[in-house]
């Protein structure tokens, strides 16, 4: 490569470092804004989280500001590792410009709540580096030339920085999604079928269910260190094939495994983890109740101690895959004193037969029963989410996670699983985005309107550029969080990446449908399925509002 070719790429790398500096400065604005909100939430000179409810709108916006900035910085870090990839670096700069604009707009809108004049934030626009970013990468010429390059080179994804082993894993599940999942996805969705064994059995043979379970229990996770990245790569490719029929297969065993590894006895780990890893036992997670939603600490399903075990009475809702699962992880209130909050909760491993269809009843010999009715949903079909009803349902004492020592610790064991579940949900969102982008790119190249391909119009090129940039930011953000979690960190970042990626999946699937025009609204088009599937992502595994207000904003503001 001659000097003339090398110079533009060197300049792009320099600009990326400048963009990163601007993002850091913007993060300081956000941190200062958090400090202002904190000052309004003091009681006896101490932060009082209850007072934060008076500033929900500002807190919500600040959470999204933090998520957007983190995503942009992950994109920059990734692009700097590819100095010869000019398209990647340009798209990273474009995404940074979009992020600066979006975050500043949020801050300006909340200026009064933040005790600032709008000029305080508007001054940021006068910074030389900010002006260069916005003038160059929010310009129509940037979008057009970049979009044309994407179309002409048929760029479906930006370069991988995965190592050889991870790339092999990705390629394996890429083929599995194409050859096994995708051909069945539409029928499963339209007819609201169960996930067939023709997907479940080969998925188990590939080790799909053991990605987060240590090798000593038959899983793929190394015994001597964590490897969240493999789980992310597998989840993303499965979700690209179908969110409902494959993308969520790992989520439930992942949450169950983390809970068992966090609090289960050695005997409990030996009993269930090998079966989960092999796919011999499918599992579901039952946390949510009709009156609690994302408020896990308010769980009220009663667990009453009896001779030899516990009786469960009450109801749960949104228990995905409850029918075909032979193991359900249930969070219940083992201490009736509601004033104890989350300290009165315990986690139980409930075994039952597998049932097909949309309704089941399991009658125990002891007289107890568990019944389930599938909830009709607009998308995310295949796994089915159930309302569950427990009536004197007996669970043996040895099925209490941690046994006697685990009583009252169910909330903590559940949270150990949820952080991984949030990261994995971000990967599911990226998989849906990838599928939507591929469909949109292909259709825009084939469909002709007013004498030329849809892809030849500037507005389509703008859409494709933004879509590819956003899904790349999501992917790289999830990779960086996976590395943090493997070090025992990244709990907050797992919430941030879920917040960002799930909202992004809704937007990208919407844009993909729009590029398809009328065909995008037809059920025969895959993008209509992707659109309704994407909508659930911001709701489950921690609703967007709960994550933004009760997790992210509370943490950022309390530490400001």
Residues designated as active site: 541
CA 155 → CA 16, 159, 465, distances in Å? 22, 10, 10
CA distances 21 to 27, 96, 103, 221, 494, Å, are 10, 11, 15, 37, 23
Contact 9, 86 (CB under 8 A): yes
In terms of phi and psi (left: phi > 0; alpha: psi -120 to 50; beta: otherwise), the region of 351 is beta
Q: Residue 48 half-sphere exposure, CB side, CA atoms within 13 Å?
A: 10
Backbone dihedral angles phi then psi of residue 535, each to the nearest 5 degrees: -65, -25
CA distance 248 to 23: 33
For 191, counting Cβ atoms within 10 Å of its Cβ (0-12 exposed, 13-18 middle, 19+ buried), the class is exposed
d(CA 247, CA 383): 10
3-state secondary structure 421-470: HHHHHHHHHHHHHHHHHHHHHHHHHHCEECCEEHHHCHHHHHHHHHHHHH
Site of tokens 């049932």 = 355
Residues 6+ apart with CB under 8 A from 522: 528
| Cβ-contact 125, 119 below 8 angstroms | no
- DSSP output for 40-84: TTEETTEE-GGGGGGGHHHHHHHHHHHHHHHHHHHHHHHHHT-TT
* The two structure tokens encoding residue 402: 């941690």
- φ, ψ dihedrals at 107, nearest 5°: -65, -40
Measured CA angle at 120 (ends 116, 121), to 5 deg: 105
Dihedral sign, Cα of residue 492, residue 498, residue 501, residue 506: negative
- Phi and psi dihedrals of 373, rounded to 5? -125, 125
């Amino acid at each position: 490569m001659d000097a003339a070719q090398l110079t533009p790429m060197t300049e792009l790398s320099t600009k990326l470092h400048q963009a990163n500096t601007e993002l850091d400065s913007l993060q300081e604005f956000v941190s200062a804004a958090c400090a202002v909100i904190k000052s309004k939430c003091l009681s006896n000179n101490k932060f009082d989280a209850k007072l934060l409810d008076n500033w929900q709108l500002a807190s919500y916006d600040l959470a999204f500001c933090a998520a957007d900035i983190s995503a942009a910085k992950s994109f920059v870090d990734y692009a700097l590792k590819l100095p010869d990839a000019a398209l990647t670096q340009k798209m990273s700069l474009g995404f940074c410009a979009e992020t600066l604009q979006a975050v500043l707009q949020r801050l300006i809108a909340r200026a009064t709540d933040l005790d600032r004049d709008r000029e305080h934030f508007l001054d940021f626009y006068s910074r030389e580096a900010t002006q260069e970013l916005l003038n160059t990468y929010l310009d129509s010429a940037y979008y057009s030339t970049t979009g044309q390059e994407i179309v002409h080179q048929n760029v479906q994804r930006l370069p991988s920085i995965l190592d050889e082993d991870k790339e092999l894993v990705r390629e394996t599940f890429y083929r599995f999604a194409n050859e096994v999942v995708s051909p069945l996805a539409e029928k499963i969705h339209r007819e609201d079928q169960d996930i067939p064994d023709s997907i479940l059995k080969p998925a188990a043979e590939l080790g799909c269910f053991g990605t987060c379970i240590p090798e000593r229990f038959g899983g793929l996770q190394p015994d001597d260190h964590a490897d969240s990245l493999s789980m992310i790569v597998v989840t993303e490719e499965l979700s690209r094939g179908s969110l409902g029929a494959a993308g969520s297969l790992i989520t439930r065993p992942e949450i169950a495994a983390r809970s068992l590894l966090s609090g289960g006895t050695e005997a409990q780990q030996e009993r269930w983890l090998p079966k989960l890893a092999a796919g011999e036992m499918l599992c579901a997670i039952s946390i949510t109740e009709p009156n609690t939603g994302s408020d896990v600490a308010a769980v009220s399903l009663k667990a009453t101690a009896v001779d030899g075990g516990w009786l469960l009475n009450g109801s749960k809702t949104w228990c995905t895959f409850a029918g075909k699962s032979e193991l359900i992880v249930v969070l219940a209130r083992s201490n009736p004193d509601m004033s104890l909050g989350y300290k009165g909760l315990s986690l139980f491993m409930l075994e039952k037969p597998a049932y097909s269809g949309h309704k089941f009843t399991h009658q125990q010999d002891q007289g107890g029963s568990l019944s389930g009715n599938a909830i009709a949903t607009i998308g995310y079909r295949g796994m089915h989410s159930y309302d569950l009803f427990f009536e004197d349902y007996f669970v043996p004492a040895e099925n209490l996670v941690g046994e006697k020592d685990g009583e009252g610790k169910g909330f903590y064991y559940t949270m150990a699983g949820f952080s991984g579940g949030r990261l994995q949900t971000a990967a599911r969102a990226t998989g849906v985005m990838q599928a939507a982008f591929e469909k949109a790119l292909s259709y825009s190249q084939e469909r002709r309107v007013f004498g030329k391909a849809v892809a030849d119009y500037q507005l389509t090129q703008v859409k494709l550029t933004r879509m590819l940039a956003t899904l790349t930011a999501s992917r790289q953000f999830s990779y960086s969080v996976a590395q943090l979690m493997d070090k025992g960190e990244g709990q907050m970042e797992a919430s941030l990446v879920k917040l960002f990626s799930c909202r992004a999946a809704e937007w990208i699937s919407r844009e993909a449908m729009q590029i398809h025009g009328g065909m995008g609204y037809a059920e025969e088009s895959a993008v209509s399925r992707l659109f309704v599937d994407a909508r659930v992502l911001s709701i489950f595994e921690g609703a967007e509002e709960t994550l933004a207000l009760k997790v992210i904003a509370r943490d950022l503001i309390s530490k400001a």
